[in-house]
Structure 1
Amino acid sequence: MYLVTEEQPNALEILCVRTKRTFFSDALEQRMEQFGATITINKELPDSLAAFTYIYVFYDTQMGRSFFKRLNALRKKIIVISYDSAIFEKINALVRSEHYEHFKFVNVEDTEGASEYVEKVVWFASTRSKEKGLNLEKSLKPKQAAETQKSVFQLPHMTKSRWIGLIIGIIFIIETFFVVPLGVAGYYLYRAGTALENQKPVAAQKFLRRGRPFVQLSEQAYAVARPLLSFFFITLLPENFIQTTKNGYEFTETVLIAKDTARQLFTLLLKVQKTPEEEAATSTMLSNMRTYVETLYRTSGSIKDTLTFEIEPLKKNSRSI
């Protein structure tokens, strides 16, 4: 395909029809001014178009078939610019079906990178080529995709101090992460105790079920952090907190179970004539109540011992003072 470019001896009069400014329209107008062209910008076609050699139309949804028919009747060099491939194909079909001889249409993406293709658009507008359409969207996308991929996977420059800071930060997160689920578990235990105090056993049971997974998560996270904490001799305090939380859950759960069992047991004890099944159930409940009492005694004692534990060096210092 041979392309012939026309040279204009005098300054060109160019009309730009657009309803709004875009990256590409600004770049195109600036380039035309560098060529020494006189540019007129209108939102719609003026009454007189005789002075204009080129008419650049930036497509808008308000432009219908009658608008393009009027343009074609002017016998000017008309370049329609769109920013959507679907509109580009629509204009392509319209131009071919209506046999618009003076039309050329270009499709670009309205981004800052599209300004690089202004030269191609100007060259395409000034040629005598029979080609009517120029789709630059495909040319833009690979480059933009490559730039996007580069920006996504490009890591910041890591100096020695940054690497040290990053490693210390990761170690700190690993060593202290168990505090987060432990705090959540403690919160739900507090809510369960408050509900139990207000005679709301159902709500207390709900809070205990929500908090149990966090107790397990804190134990698992602490198992990872414990070796390094042991090296610095700071395992006693976190282990006491975890054990106290576990005992608190066991104590509260046992209280709820014992309360429900006691209610059923009193009902059976007040019954004068019992069936063999009820007598067996009464015996089982009495045995279970003994177990519940032992559990309550053990967990409450463990909580008391943990909370009143004194570190030996601190104890000696306090006595000397």
Structure 2
Amino acid sequence: MPPKTQKQKEEEAARLAEEQRLREEEEERQRKELEKYKINTLNNTNMPLPITKYCIEYVYLHSEPHKATIEYLHKLAEIYNCKDQLRDIDFQISADALINDLIFAKSLNNLNEESVQVLVNILFLSFTNNNSKFSQEIRYTNTLQKKSKLTDAELFNNLLKVHAEAGYFRSMHILPIKEHFQIYLNHFDLINQAFISDQRTLELHMDLQMDLPLQPLPLDEALIYRPFEQKAEDDGLIETVDQEDQQAPPEPTDEELLDPIIMEAIQKKLDLAKQELEEKLVSRQKDMEEKLMSMATKKK
């Protein structure tokens, strides 16, 4: 193989330098990408910060915060090799809790960016303490709790007290923060049920009955006019019955519906009225005859 010329050596050196530059840029990009999701600890209190400043700045300003939060939690779980152990419900409920915490922290007045991050992490760590698989899989609670089992309220009160003394919150913020966390305590039982890993599918068994429609007649038979229909008798003979004979019996009249006693009373009243009318007619006829006789006598 002939030796390389000076020009070829320069081209080879330039190519290697370009590859080295691209490799360093990719490593720097990956380092910055991992830095967005790296769980650091607070310097003066040693509290882990799974919710980074990147998450707070990115999620709060995103047009679809719920989707962005789930993507952040997915990436966080992927970095710590526990994505396969987490279910969709774990991501969804944790994302809802994180968004509520972030909105609440941003709504408090006189909180700087660092205090907002500390408050969001206190609320999120307390929420995931015994109610989310995030703390079990990512394992950041071992450093936080030092292998001691704390209840959610105890952990929250401890973290809030320590960081209030460290100057992250003022006295005016303590009561609203406690009231906000109390909402979680009121719903932890329901939230915990959603995170139970051995949930069983509810099976319901029910007997249903359905009346199927009759098959329609063929079109060629449906077009035939049939004034009579056939009726099968018990002896197997078939006779033709006029449809008019099968009509429903006539409805009873009003007189038939009345009680016989009422009808008898009505009939008596009618007879009495008829008798009184006849007597009046006879009396009137007699009066007319008497008047005529009187007039005839006066003329004579």
TM normalised by structure 1 equals 0.19
TM normalised by structure 2 equals 0.20
* Larger relative strand fraction: 1
| Larger Rg over CA atoms | 2
